[in-house]
Chains A and B, each alone.
Chain A
Amino acid sequence: MIEKYLPIEVSEVIKSRLDENRVYELRLRANMPVCINYNGKYYYLGKNGLSDRADNAILSSSDDVNNLVVGVSERSLYAVNNQLVNGYITVEGGVRIGVCGETVRQDGIVKTIKDFTSVNIRFPHEIRGCGLTAYNFIKDTKLRNALIVSPPGAGKTTILRDLCRHISKENLNILLVDERSEIAAVCNRKNQLDVGNGVDIISNCSKSYAFEYGIRSMRPDLIVTDELIGERDYDAVLEACFGGVKVIASAHASTPEELYMRKGFDKLFASKVFSRYIFLSDRLGPGTYENVYDGDMKCIYYAP
């Protein structure tokens, strides 16, 4: 769906010169060269394909950026404004489009974003089996609460999706809280990406709402969710875990130290609800397993 809203020059180069399955991100900035994350590395996108030099790159205009955002909303910005104020729009196929522009505030609340200046298009990847290592750490004697931790773009969501698919084979009631519609990418009531059977999905709402509503209405055994950010998310996880629901989630950080420094995380750590911290990186490509820690942050697996 996204291809038809990209500038023609960009989509033609991607189609003719690159392997579309290796495109992880595409960044368009108003009147700036187009950047691409290809196979985990950043390049400029030139007329002849990848380039290390900005002067060879295709330039995207401010109209290109604006038309892309309006286009992917199917010319219905009002219908995606709730997503837009959070900085992204998710479209068919789980493609997430991060948006920057001028915020419009009313009574201290961001009402909308206008005059778009840049977009970051993130293409999801389904890699079957990539969550198996994580699964073995999470499910040893019993199913454990776990946090998948990595910097952005290191494969957290892809691994969560695969984990969800593996665990769903165990006949558990899984509630997938897909805040940004990236994990299952539900569109027209169908999952665009396979998360397995027996998974109930709540998408496009805050975690605190989804956890409370989901636990009350669906009685899940396990909640899977992406990107815990801030105390409200941590509190939602604590509430769920204290209520006997298992949680597998992800968070942004490169090291345990970075994780501690996140505001409010100390409370989550002190409660020891997570008994597995699985760190990932893109050292050998997205989805590289790094150290794995237990609930006391003792390393139980050292990355080779």
Chain B
Amino acid sequence: MIVWAVALVFGFSLLGLTVGAHFSMRIKVRRKYFEDCISLINSLEGEVRFKQSKLTEILLCESERFGAELKDNIHDFIRFISKKSDAFAPKLAHLTKRERSIITDMFSVLGTYDTDTQVMVLENFKGKIDELYNSEKQRESKYCSSYIKLGVLVGAAIGILVL
């Protein structure tokens, strides 16, 4: 009986841990995504200013070092500009409507200006994404471990209540 009770509480705690980890992971994914975006903008600024390679070459070369989300967005964008798809509709399920609009706008202005203006426009987007990154980083340090702890505790509590 005791073994069953412990197993039940442990099971619910594990479930709580999984739910907590899921919420925590969502914040981490968003933080990593914004971090990748800033890194992409930094690389683009350097390449546009000095090397002046074609956009597709830069993006293909850079995409390898980013997380799956931004990498997918970059590949969707390359397909769009190579006329292999009709519209650029990036998968941005982990972002809010406002964030989605910032990212889509950022992609839509790539390669459409001369060097100085392009760098200026990218700087502007970097500022906006930097704000999102900082807020997400704060949330990460504030909530990530709490979500996991809370998940375990709530799980255990539910287990005890069920008993």
Instruction: Report A's interface with B, CB cutoff 8 A.
Output: 4-5, 70-71, 73-79, 81, 84, 104, 111-112
Contact = CB atoms under 8 A, between A and B. Distances in A.
5 contacts: A4-B83, A75-B112, A77-B111, A77-B114, A79-B54
Interface string B51-68: 011111000000000000
A4 B82 CA distance: 9
A245 B64 CA distance: 51
B118 A78 contact: yes
Interface residues of B, number: 17
B116 A111 contact: yes
B83 A78 contact: no
B54 A81 contact: no
Contacts of B55: 74-76, 79
- 6 pairs of A and B residues whose beta carbons are closest in the complex: A75-B111, A112-B114, A81-B114, A78-B115, A76-B55, A76-B54
A71 B56 CA distance: 12
A70 B111 CA distance: 8
Interface of B: 48, 52-56, 81, 83, 110-118
Contact of A78 (B56, B81, B111): B111
Contacts of B116: 111
B115 A81 contact: yes
Given A76-B54, A111-B116, A112-B114, 6 more contacts: A5-B83, A70-B112, A74-B111, A75-B55, A75-B112, A79-B55
Greatest chain A CB density within 10 A among B56, B110, B112 is at: B112
Contacts of B118: 77-78
